[in-house]
Amino acid sequence: MEHRRLRISYSSISFLIIFVLVFNSSCIKFPKPIPNPYIQANRYLYPFSSEQKNITASISINLKNDATVNEIGAEIPPLKYNKSWLFLLSQDDTRHESFCVTWAAIHGKPIPVDKHYYDVEHLEAEDFPPGIMTLGKTLGSTDGAGNEVRFSFLITVAPEKHSMNRKPNVLPGYNVNQDRFKMNECLTFSNVKEMLNSGVGIAFHDVKTTAVDIVDSVKKHLEISQKILLDTLKGRGCKTLAEPEGNKVYIEAAKIIPEIQVITAQTEVEAIYPFQNPSALYNIPLRREPVVEENFRNYIEKKLALPKEQREAVAVFVHQTGTYFANHLLWLNNTYGKDGDDSMWAPSLEEYYEYNYYRLNGNVKVIKDNKTVKLEVFLPSSDYFYYPSVTINVKGLKMADIESVTSGDEVKGMSYADYKDGVMINIDCRKFLMEHATHYVEKYEKTKKVTDRADAIYFVKMLKESSAKRALLTRVGL
């Protein structure tokens, strides 16, 4: 009996020794997510649901004593910042690379190569796949007064897909395998929130029904998708539909949902001509065209060969994007953007629809009182409007005539400069623009990343001049 107990004891000890050796072996690793203070548990989202509506903005132009001013007129030009052509990009199918390639390229973030992908949580933790690249700059144009305006675009969302709620595995420094960088079937809501914060627009596309040929079914699922969006994005709704696969049933369904105002499609459509007689665009299927990457540059150059009065908006859509497409965006920046002739405006279709709405339905009233010219700018709005921002051309004035320009509290961002036979004034009436800029300054103060500093400066420079703006610039080292 004594001998048997001793044998069991030796067996147990042997097992324990093997167990310890195996679990301490350098060949076997069981990684766990590494807590990172810069990953946002409750992800920040601009408070879209509390945006100002039906705004009357006041601007005072104070003239110099020796200024001689006669006739003064004011208008909202066809394109914001007085650009000469409109670029409207949309990316379908809620694709993962909408964030980590298209958005990342525009905002100066790393771009994965070799069919790898990442999410915003990876970006914040600097947990990247191997073989990333950057373009070395952000991409955009200017506001005509020296401030950067980054390119934007339209993404489609699929709120009924549960995978939009997935949580990525974040493992900085773990290189044994790269499974966490595989392509997922769609964007996450975290990715979408970060993109919305930078001005990207959203559109419905495919919905989760097999009865795609029945209007009532598609309508029901569009309404379900809208509810999910409103709940998940804190009241930020969607007013745009990008027709999927040429299915006109989606368009029929969208037209009987009052909140959906903007439709883009490939066939049975109308083109946008910004410099011709303005159209309301409401519920009109607007043309967009697929573009093959190899023909991208020739396609645009052919469109721009026409005088601006005859130019159709360059409205294109893509699905998959990679480094090749990122370099096309770089070419746009270097040729027609801030590092080129600065002729293009690249908003989302959502933003352009709103700008066109303000131009058609708003008005600018001019009041001249001695050495002050006052502008009252009325910007009416509709459901799910989030871009209360326009350019105003004031004819009969030059910068040399102006002592200062001030505005009421409705205006949060402002810039101005000479333009042809007058002065252009850009106003941004987003209610929380100061808080938005402050968020990015605080983020940079935590991370000290170069790209986070660039983002902070970008958003602070949107603000109108004030002591608060100067204080924020000081915090980022300007």
Judgement on whether residues 179 and 203 belong to the same structural domain of the protein: yes
In a shared domain, residues 128 and 251: yes
Is residue 1 domain-resident? no
CA-to-CA dists, residue 381 to 52, 56, 286, 358, 386, angstroms:
9, 11, 21, 8, 9
Does 308 share its domain with 417?
no
**Of 410, 428, 446, the domain-final residue:** 428
- Number of domain units in the chain: 3
Would you say residue 10 lies in a domain?
A: no
In terms of DSSP bridges, do strands 85-91 and 314-318 run parallel, antiparallel, or are they unpaired? Answer: parallel
For residue 5, being part of any structural domain is answered with: no
- Please indicate, yes or no, whether the overall pTM of this predicted structure exceeds 0.75: yes
Structure confidence at residue 13 (pLDDT): 46
Task: Report the pLDDT value the prediction gives residue 5, as an integer from 0 to 100.
Answer: 42
393 and 266 fall within a common domain: no
Residues 266 and 413 in one domain: no
State whether 221 and 239 are in the same domain: yes
Contact 380, 355 (CB under 8 A): no
323 & 299 share domain = yes
Whether 217 is in a domain gets the answer yes
CA diameter of the chain = 117
* pLDDT given at position 277: 86
Give the range of the structural domain holding residue 335, as residue numbers without chain letter. Answer: 81-356
On whether residue 36 sits in a domain, the answer given is no
- The 3-class secondary structure across the chain, one letter per residue, is CHHHHHHHHHHHHHHHHHHHHHHCCCCCCCCCCCCCCCCCCCCCCCCHHHCCCCEEEEEEEEECCCCCCCCCEEECCCCHHHCCEEEEEEECCCCCHHHHHHHHHHCCCCECCCCCCCCHHHHHHCCCCCCCECCCCCCEEECCCCCEEECCCEEEECCCCHHHHCCCCCCCCCCCCCHHHCCCCCCCHHHHHHHHHCCCEEEECCCCCCCCCCHHHHHHHHHHHHHHHHHHCCCCCCCEEECCCCCHHHHHHHHCCCCCCEEEECCCCECCCCCCCCCCCCCCEEECEECCHHHHHHHHHHHHCCCHHHCCCEEEEECCCCHHHHHHHHHHHHHHCCCCCCCEECCCHHHHHHHHHHHHHCEEEEEEECCEEEEEEEECCCCCCCCCEEEEEEECCCHHHEEEEEECCCCCEEEEEEECCEEEEEEECCCCHHHHHHHHHHHHHHHCCHHHHHHHHHHHCCCCCCHHHHHHHHHCCC
Tens of each residue's pLDDT in the chain, 478 residues = 444 443 444 444 444 444 444 444 444 444 454 444 444 558 999 999 999 999 999 999 999 998 888 889 999 999 999 999 999 999 999 999 999 999 999 999 999 998 899 999 999 999 999 999 999 999 999 999 999 999 999 999 999 999 999 999 999 999 999 999 999 999 999 999 999 999 999 999 999 999 999 999 999 999 999 999 999 999 999 999 999 999 999 999 999 999 999 999 999 999 999 999 889 999 999 999 999 888 999 999 999 999 999 999 999 999 999 999 999 999 999 999 999 999 999 999 999 999 999 999 999 999 998 899 999 999 999 999 999 999 999 999 999 999 999 999 999 999 999 999 899 999 999 999 999 999 999 999 999 999 999 999 999 999 999 999 999 999 999 9
User: Residues 387, 421: one domain?
Assistant: yes
Instruction: Classify residue 13: in a domain, yes or no.
Output: no
Residue 45, number of CB atoms within 10 A of its CB: 21
Asked if residue 391 and residue 282 are part of one domain, the reply reads no
Determine the pLDDT at residue 415: 99
Q: Let me know whether 130 and 251 are in one domain.
A: yes
- For tokens 């400069």, name the residue: 417
Q: Is residue 45 part of a domain?
A: no
Q: What is the pLDDT of residue 41?
A: 56
In a domain, 9, yes or no: no
